[in-house]
Structures are given as structure tokens and as C-alpha cells.
A and B are shown apart, each in its own frame.
Chain A
Amino acid sequence: MTATRPTTPTTGTATTSTRTAGTATAGTVTTSTATARPRPAVPLIGAHVRYLVLEQLRIPMAVLSSALFPALSLLFFVLPFDWADDPGAATAAVAQLALFGVLTGFLFTFGVGVADDREKPWDPYLRTLPAPAWTRIVARLISGAFFALLSVLPVLLVGALFTAATVPSGRLLAALGTLVLGGFPFLLGGLAIGYSLPTKVALPVVQLVFFPMAFGGGLLLPPELFPGWMQIVSSLLPTRGARDLLVFSLGGPTPTVLVVVAFAAWTIGAALVAGWAYRRDEGRRFR
């Protein structure tokens, strides 16, 4: 198809034109014919990750606050108290706050970030570039993971340096895996919000969702301190499931069946809503 293009630029004007194209010295067009093949997926994903990360880093306050909040919470609410010296409690506290970092990172980058993108005319422009839609989705997942990691690292560092929290080396990998797994319902929930709501609504919704989720799931205070009725509510939240699974992966108590089932149900529910919202959005804007 493309190989049939002539190499002399002026031949192209032998059409209905009443005007001649003049002497064509600029080789701007012909040079592309031989190499008119799309770029492989990896550099495309790389270019988009770079763009997404840069764009977010340009609002340093947002990045700093989400990166430092979990670490600061650890410094102010855990460190001064006795349980900072109890390895079990300290490890759980660090785990909870790490999960908190993942929760904020995912809900904001996917919820607010996606909603914001959908409203900009820049997004349809990017879709006309020769990159398949999935490469951009992958890039967004990677940038979300990057910012989640950015808020997890400081809290791990503070935990390792100043508390009695320990992770047996054999469990480290399992714990990190569980941290990622625990983030899934929030990744999907973020996407569900981002694809179904406009920014003006998505932002307050995320803010409204994330605090009760974090608190109720025991990410800020250990759930053992909750009164009975709140234990039940807590067990039904996805944050609680994620927290209990993470603590379990670090050698803590086995989570109850109810907590695990609730976590799975939230994840599946969020995936369904996210899928529905994505398709609806595609249908509205690009079908």
C-alpha cells in the first residue's frame, strides 16, 4: 500500500488541481514513506508514562502531600506511643499507613485524573496519534503505581528506621504483592469514578469516599480499638480486607471469612462498574 508512493513529490499534484505545486525541494514528505511503520508498544507506553508522571509532578503540592501524609501520620500518631516499640503493632501500623498511601494514590490518580482527562480536548487529540488505546491505559496504570510507590516509600523508611516494625525477609515479597493486591479495589474504584463522573463531581466524591474508607478499614487506627457495631461495618469495607490480608502476609492473624468475602465482592463490583463506565464513556465520545 504505502510502498506504491512515488519518490518524486511533484507527481502527487497530478490531480484536479488548477494550480501547480511549484518546485518541491522540501523532502519532508517522501522521507517517511520507507519507514511508515508504527512504533513498538514499549516506547509508546514509555512516552505516555513520562507525560503522565511529568504532568502530575508539575503540581508539587499534590504530590508532596500524598507522598508525605502516611509518613507524617506514622511520625505523629504512632512513634510517640508505646506500640511503636511492639514489633507486631508497629509492623501493623506501618502496613496500614502504606496501604493508606496506595489508597490515596490510586483513588486520586485514577478517579480525578481520568475524569479530568476526559474533559480536555487534548485527550481526543492523543487518540488520533498512532498508539493503540490499550497502551495509554497501561501507561496510566504504571504512572498510578509509580505515585502509589512514592507515597509508600517514605512510610516504609520511617517505619524501618524509627519503629520496631520488622519484616522477615522471606515475607517481604509476599507483603509487597499483597499491598498491590490490596490496592486493586481502589484502582478499579478510581477508574469507575473517573470514567463515570465529571471532574467537578469526581473530586468531592473521591474525597468523601476515601476518608471513611481509610478510617473505617482501620488504616489510621488499629481496628481492635473499634466498638462492636463498628467492627461489623469495618469488616464489610474493602480497606479492612486489604489491611487484614496485608497484616496476615506479615505474620499477623488470619483474616475472617467475612472480611475476605467482602474484599472480593468489592473488587469484583468495582471491576464491573469500571468496565461499564469505560464502555459508556467510549460510546459517548468515540463511537
Chain B
Amino acid sequence: MTAPVVLEGVSRRYGATVALDGVDLALEPGSLTGLLGPNGAGKSTLVNLVAGLRRADSGTVRLFGGDPRDAANRVALGTTPQQTGLPETLRVGEVLRLVSGHFPDPVPTGELLERFGLAGLERRQTGGLSGGQKRRLAVALAFCGRPRLVLLDEPTTGLDVEGRRVLWDAVREFHAGGGTVLLTTHYLDEIETLAERVVVLSGGRIRADGDVDTIRGAVRRSRVTLRAALLPDLPGIEHTERDGDRWVLHTADADALVRDLVTSGAAFSDLGVARASLEEAFLTLAGTGPQADPAVPTGGSR
């Protein structure tokens, strides 16, 4: 069976900036993959390559086994415009009609609007929609051609709670029907709620690739806070913040660190241990170079 997306040794530079550096990635049919990474990690470049908007400098990008830059190969692909991108003077129905016109068997307009909580807005100009409605319309466009692969680039940015729920339901329903999804986001809860596989991209390379629990384990970090005039050199500290006598120590193993701290005999007070938020943990992981890669299985990729 043809994988919807296959990237082999894909590199892409913009001038001196390396956006992607030898990326190998394959998405299995019916999988729901979250692409996670800080700004500038190469997420958008990867998505643009798959959508046929950009060309790889080296390596190959395959969409349903063909070149995504060939329009015919994009017939089973669904993407979303950015929220600000809808043509303001056109009515909702007209925008849907334009996009539907590209597909052999589009979802009827009424049905699509119903599904995305936009019923009754068909004759409204898109410029007159609320921010959440625009976003939902943008996402609806990705599904209007009955795609087999949907690329969602930061789909819930600027979406209200209700809009998020509608979107997540739509993604789940699509996935349940056998559809493949590639989702980029910087919201970890979105990845945790939706994705079954997580690919962490940073500096143009894949830093981690596995199921959600594995990645969460790999990025599990703790913050040890304390007051001390001086600290001895302790093993296992990945990152230190200091403000006067306040210290914040980031570590993978808080228990070992505290034990070492006590046995070192150093004077300290106000000890606190907290689980780092996934956001912080993820940034730690994404910020490290390849030599500091955690041992994460990359079993998901092939």
C-alpha cells in the first residue's frame, strides 16, 4: 500500500538558513501524526514540501507515490489557508464552491457547513465572520474534497474553546474513517488529545519520533528550586537558572539530584521539586543538539 507521504533524505535551505536537513519520514495510511517543534524548526517547510508549494533542494518528497508539485497528485490532499487568508468580499458559499470545484466528488456545501458549525452562514461574506468562524471555515475547506490526507498547520491557533472542540471532532471523525492526518502545532495538549505518533522537529532535523507516551517519557523533566549561596558541581543538571541566591535546576532525575545535593553537604533552604510542564520539557529537548538526543525509538517511521 502506498504511504500517503514519504520523505527521503529531504534537505531544504533558504539562503544560508537550513530549514530541513536530511529528513526521512513516512506516514502510514490512516495514521494521525503530530509534528511538534519550536518556531523555525522546519515544520512549515515540511508541510509546504508535502503540499507542493516548495521544492526540496535534495532528497525526494512523495505524495501518494507521486510528485506533490504535480497538481494531479494533490487530488486526495486537503489543506487549510491561514485565517487571514480568506477572500473577504466573497460569501462563505462562494468560497466553498470555488474550492469544491477542484474535486471530483466534493462534500455537499450544506453538509460541510453543518459539520463545522457554520450552518446558516452560507450567504455571509467571509470578512463579516468572527475569528472563530473564519478559522472553522478554513479548516472545513481541508475536508471539502473528501481527502485521504489532511495537512493541518497550526489549526487551532486563534480558535475559541468551542471551535477547538468542533475541529478536534472533525479530525477524529476523519481519522476514524481511515483518513491520514499530519498536524503541526505548538500546543502539546492538542498533540496529546489527537495524535498517536509524535515527531519532534528542531533545527531542521527529526529529534524524536514515537508514540505520545514514549515522547512524553523522553521529555519528562523536573525543576528543582532552592536557595543557596553556593552550589557544588552536581551531576545530572541540564540547565541552571540563577537569580541572586535563588536557583532553578532542570534535570531528568530530580530524586538523584536531591540525594546528591544532600550528600554534598551544601547549605540550602526552600527546596522545591516540580514536574516541568511539557512545554518546558519539550523546549529543553528541542533546544539540545543531536549529541544530547534522548534515546527515543524511531519505530514509527517505517
**Interface residue ranges, A against B (CB under 8 Å):** 1-2, 4-6, 8-19, 21-33, 35-39, 43-44, 46-48, 50-51, 54-55, 58-59, 120-122, 124-125, 127-133, 286-287
Contact = CB atoms under 8 A, between A and B. Distances in A.
Interface string B169-180: 000011111111
Contacts of A30: 177-178
11 contacts: A1-B65, A14-B30, A15-B31, A18-B196, A18-B213, A23-B176, A26-B174, A26-B177, A37-B104, A44-B102, A124-B48
A145 to B, nearest CB: 20
Contacts of B173: 26, 28
A150 to B, nearest CB: 18
Contacts of B32: 17
A19 B195 CA distance: 9
Interface in B44-60: 48, 51-55
Contacts of A50: 97-98
Interface in B127-176: 141, 143, 145-148, 173-176
A31 B178 CA distance: 11
Contact of B75 (A37, A48, A120): A37
B176 A22 contact: yes
Interface stretch (B85-93, B227-235, B237-245): B85-93
Contacts of A59: 89
A120 to B, nearest CB: 6
A26 B77 contact: no
Nearest to B102: A129
Interface residues of B, number: 65
A92 to B, nearest CB: 38
A4 B2 contact: yes
A128 B51 contact: yes
A58 B31 contact: no
Contacts of B54: 286-287
Contact of A128 (B77, B146, B176, B211): B77
Given A36-B75, A50-B97, 5 more contacts: A4-B1, A16-B211, A29-B177, A47-B98, A120-B85
A130 B102 contact: yes
B116 interface: no
B57 to A, nearest CB: 10
Given A15-B28, A16-B31, A44 B177 contact: no
B32 to A, nearest CB: 8
Given A17-B197, A31-B146, A38 B176 contact: no
A2 B65 CA distance: 9
Main secondary structure of the interface of A (DSSP, over half): loop
B87 A122 contact: yes
B174 A29 contact: yes
B24 interface: no
B146 A29 contact: yes
Nearest to B1: A4
Nearest 10 interchain pairs by C-beta: A12-B30, A9-B178, A47-B101, A121-B85, A125-B81, A58-B89, A15-B28, A122-B85, A32-B146, A16-B300
B6 to A, nearest CB: 12
Contacts of B101: 39, 43-44, 46-47
Interface of B: 1-2, 28-32, 48, 51-55, 64-66, 71-77, 79-82, 84-87, 89-90, 94, 97-99, 101-105, 107, 125, 141, 143, 145-148, 173-180, 196-197, 211-213, 299-300
Contact of B76 (A32, A55, A124): A32
Contacts of B97: 47, 50
Given A55-B90, A125-B85, A29 B75 contact: no
Contact of A127 (B2, B53, B175, B299): B53
Given A28-B174, A58-B90, A48 B98 contact: yes
A10 B102 contact: no
A29 B179 contact: yes
Contacts of A15: 28-31, 300
A253 B2 CA distance: 68
Contacts of A18: 196, 211-213
Contact of B52 (A31, A33, A127): A127
Given A39-B104, A121-B82, A24 B75 contact: no
A11 B197 CA distance: 17
A25 B172 CA distance: 12
B53 to A, nearest CB: 6
Given A22-B176, A39-B104, A128-B74, A2 B2 contact: yes
A129 B53 CA distance: 10
Given A9-B177, A128-B51, A129-B74, A39 B89 contact: no
A51 to B, nearest CB: 5
B66 A1 contact: yes
B104 A35 contact: yes
B249 to A, nearest CB: 33
Contacts of B55: 286-287
Contacts of A27: 177
Contacts of A2: 2, 64, 76
A286 B299 contact: no
